[in-house]
Chains A and B, each alone.
Chain A
Amino acid sequence: MTSESRPSKQQLADEFRSFIDPQFVISDEETLKPYECDGLAMYREMPMLVVLPETVEQVQRVMRICHEKGVPVVARGAGTGLCAGAMPHKEGVVLSLAKFNRILDIDPVARTARLQPGVRNLAISEEAAQYGLYYGPDPSSQIACTIGGNVAENSGGVHCLKYGLTVHNLLKVEMITVEGERVTVGSDGLDACGMDLLALVTGSEGLLGVVTEVTVKLLPKPEVARVIMAGFDSIEKAGDAVGAVISHGIIPGGLEMMDGHAIIAADDFCQAGYPRDAKALLLCEVDGTEEEVDEHIAEAESVFRKLGATSIRTSTSEEERALLWKGRKSAFPAVGRISPDYYCMDGTIPRRHLAHVLLEMEKMSEEFGLRVANVFHAGDGNLHPLILFDANIPGEFETAEAFGSRILELCVEVGGCITGEHGVGVEKIRQMAVQFDDQELAQFHSVKAAFDPKGILNPGKGVPTLKFCQEYRSIEHKQHKHEAGAEHG
């Protein structure tokens, strides 16, 4: 596909304006500007055009035109993603689903919600609350992020161990194929016949189709939830405590860990009453019926005490529960206060390697000369190291990026993965070459081609080209070996 064969910006804009309200076809620099990045603002690109269709038919026509003419299409929800997955293509169209923001139906008996893709994650639970129901996955951006984006990224949150990721909470999606066909993937039943395309589409980062409707499962809101805050004088002890609770047959609704840096930053930020001298803090939330929660809270407290918790506090009211969570929920802005900028990573590891990984990270922190604070979805092994840096110092973001790469590669080394819930996008495309070999990546490319033979959906994201990988592996690994040799030799 050469750019010569593509229509000019003006031609394309005129064509879109023939069937989309002209004010929703954006072509001037100033109005395009807000679309140049998503939540990972370090990666930017100006799009050729942004369109905001208002009907599914308009989405279909946009896709048909772009497919026929080989114009790249980047679908976009609220733009809160953290991997530059919605970063525009400079010769492409950003297809915003922002106008699709209606909750179409809530069925309180079957416990389902039918949603347009631009509905905000939190709005689902707010609307379902009148029936005593809610939507499970709760990414920390839930106030702003959309369900369409959640499907694209297979978003998680703090309740995944018990309630699953987006993929576990979907029944079906309506999707526009790259050729502009409208198809339904999945059904209102729990299992559908044929290949599980719903699983394939979930988390596919807008590379396989454009989702125009989502049906999710709703859950009954637990009768009660209580949280235990436990401080420990070492990461190892806190890690052991997580394992011990689970070994007792308790699956907490949420199980979060923070390291010493994050504890102090969060406590300074919102005076949550965290133990400031602790090296690790656990927040262990148990939800369920009154009886079950009482039983499990007592057991978990006793486990923490036995494993040497230096402080324990258990919420006895909703206010106290909210306060204890407040520090964790504001950990990112809190860290933002102690550093001009921070870079959030998203690796997942088998929990047994936690202490080792954090120790290695401390070493890297010294090596790169940048501080790192850790918040951790301890229940499911999903790490969010926050690398602190100052973007105004030339080269410092590049250093943070290199530090981040090393952290992700360490996650792979211990049997984990490069992204638990934020996605690959542009940001982690290099590390894909570390997690997967060429045959696996080639298989991904052929899966992509099964949906999008011309490769116009979100090109350059998610899966790297093989040539790129070979180059990356050879450069990076030479460096690693060199560094490792210098350290140990």
Chain B
Amino acid sequence: MADQIQSLQEQVLQARKNGQTLNIVGGGTKSFMGRKTDTDSATLSLAEHSGVVEYHPVELVLTVRAGTTLSEIEAVLAEEGQCLHFEPPRLGDGATIGGTLACNLSGPARPWAGSVRDQVLGLRLLNGQGEHLRFGGQVMKNVAGYDVSRLQAGAMGTLGVMTEISLKVMPKPATTATLVQEMPLDSAIDYMNRRTGEPKPITGACWLDGKVYLRLAGARSAVEATAEQWEGEVFEGGNGLWQQIQDMQHEFFAGDDPLWRFSVKSSAVMPSLDGPWLVDWAGAQRWYRGPATLSDLEPVAAEAGGQVSLFRGGDRTGEVMHSQPEALKAIQRRIKQSFDPDGLFNPGRLYSWL
């Protein structure tokens, strides 16, 4: 795999000249996300623009081309005993780091390890004028200029074509263990929050099918001691379960029912909505399956201190993301304009008005 930057730049300039909108695609594993938009966009593929640019394990810094697959990255890191701490969901074999950042997807460790956005140190990006720009850097601390790198997280490619991303990587935990016990959901919310407030090596807390699961990870002695102190049975299938949740391969996620994602205050009282729930991130991320409308669920999410989005399925021709107040809409429109004055990139994918 190689550096395709020149070709990508030419495609952007050509599209600009022709007034052709572009749909930016990495591995295409997240095409179900965002709004359904008009299909007359041309595809701008990043899949070939892949490979590790620099990796310094001792510095905990990895720089890769945006089209690099998560599996390639994880294989390279594993050789040095390191990992992507935010546990990126692999929604398919071709899932890339660029797509992961554009959608701001992080796995079960997110409340403790941070999100993909948190681990971004810098990136390169083609803006709508075809300029190849560099923001942030390859160091842990950098406050020169606005944080344009993290601005890309969740922007779903509406601001430009990310071409290269530098990330903080971390050592793999030496040991993990999972504890399980039966518990009603309301009690589990409180329990997961209280356990997270203790100075113990916890890196996962979810509730599913009447059971609460806590994951411990870190130095062997600390994991073993905490597993002794805390109630719950050691669950041997723990690693498999966390992987299934991370990659959204668990049967909870199967089927065509609309999948709603609530990102709310971790301790918020469970809303009274009928239907199956999977509560992750110690209560801060709550998946809900069921027919509903965004406008019905928004007040529910707001009451819980957060937001809701229609993650998969359902009606995707309307809005799928929690609505924004007018003042923030205006700012985001102007930001979009500043990066992509001709509206080339992923128009309408994030919001109809972007």
Contact = CB atoms under 8 A, between A and B. Distances in A.
B162 to A, nearest CB: 14
Given A249-B81, A449-B334, A440 B147 contact: no
Contact of A292 (B135, B218, B267, B337): B218
A422 B144 CA distance: 9
A193 B321 contact: yes
B328 A183 contact: yes
Interface stretch (B91-99, B231-239, B242-250, B302-310): B302-310
B226 A289 contact: yes
A193 B307 contact: yes
A439 B200 contact: no
B151 A288 contact: no
A295 B221 contact: yes
Contact of A295 (B198, B199, B222, B267): B222
B174 A418 contact: no
Given A424-B143, A439-B133, A195 B201 contact: no
A291 B145 contact: no
A9 interface: no
B211 interface: no
A82 to B, nearest CB: 12
A184 B146 CA distance: 19
B35 interface: no
B265 A195 contact: no
B265 A351 contact: no
A420 B143 contact: yes
Given A196-B104, A463-B145, A289 B140 contact: no
A199 B117 contact: yes
A423 interface: yes
Interface string B322-347: 10110110011011011100000000
Contacts of B64: none
A167 interface: yes
Contact of B59 (A154, A194, A195, A350): A350
Contact of A161 (B140, B264, B328): B140
B182 interface: no
B305 A187 contact: yes
Contacts of A208: 146
Nearest to A418: B144
B199 A221 contact: yes
B350 interface: yes
A251 B172 CA distance: 11
B143 A185 contact: no
A468 interface: no
A436 B145 contact: yes
Interface string B136-172: 0111111111111011111100110000000000111
Interface stretch (A65-73, A92-100, A106-114): A106-114
B200 to A, nearest CB: 6
B134 interface: yes
A164 interface: yes
Contacts, number: 289
A292 B201 contact: yes
Interface residues of B, number: 91
A416 B137 contact: yes
A292 B134 CA distance: 39
Interface stretch (A39-47, A115-123, A259-267, A375-383): A375-383
Interface in B269-316: 281, 284-285, 304-307, 309
A432 B58 contact: no
A195, A197, A221, A244: most-surrounded residue (chain B CB, <10 A): A195
A110 B59 contact: no
Nearest to B332: A195
B148 A195 contact: no
A109 B267 contact: yes
A8 to B, nearest CB: 31
A222 B197 CA distance: 10
Contacts of A489: none
B143 A191 contact: no
Given A188-B265, A450-B334, A195 B154 contact: yes
A190 interface: yes
A199 B151 contact: yes
B338 A450 contact: yes
A415 B138 contact: yes
A224 to B, nearest CB: 9
B197 A109 contact: yes
Interface in A427-458: 428, 432, 435-436, 439-440, 443-444, 446-451, 453
Contacts of B139: 348-350, 380-382, 415-417, 420
Given A247-B58, A348-B139, 16 more contacts: A110-B267, A167-B118, A168-B114, A189-B262, A190-B285, A191-B285, A193-B154, A220-B200, A222-B199, A246-B60, A288-B199, A296-B219, A350-B138, A436-B144, A440-B145, A451-B331
17 contacts: A154-B143, A161-B60, A164-B118, A191-B117, A195-B159, A200-B146, A243-B59, A247-B57, A249-B172, A288-B201, A291-B225, A349-B139, A351-B58, A417-B137, A424-B145, A435-B145, A444-B148
Interface of B: 56-61, 81, 104, 106, 110-111, 114-115, 117-118, 127, 131, 133-135, 137-148, 150-155, 158-159, 170-172, 174, 190, 193-194, 196-201, 218-222, 224-226, 262-268, 281, 284-285, 304-307, 309, 321-322, 324-325, 327-328, 331-332, 334-335, 337-339, 350-351
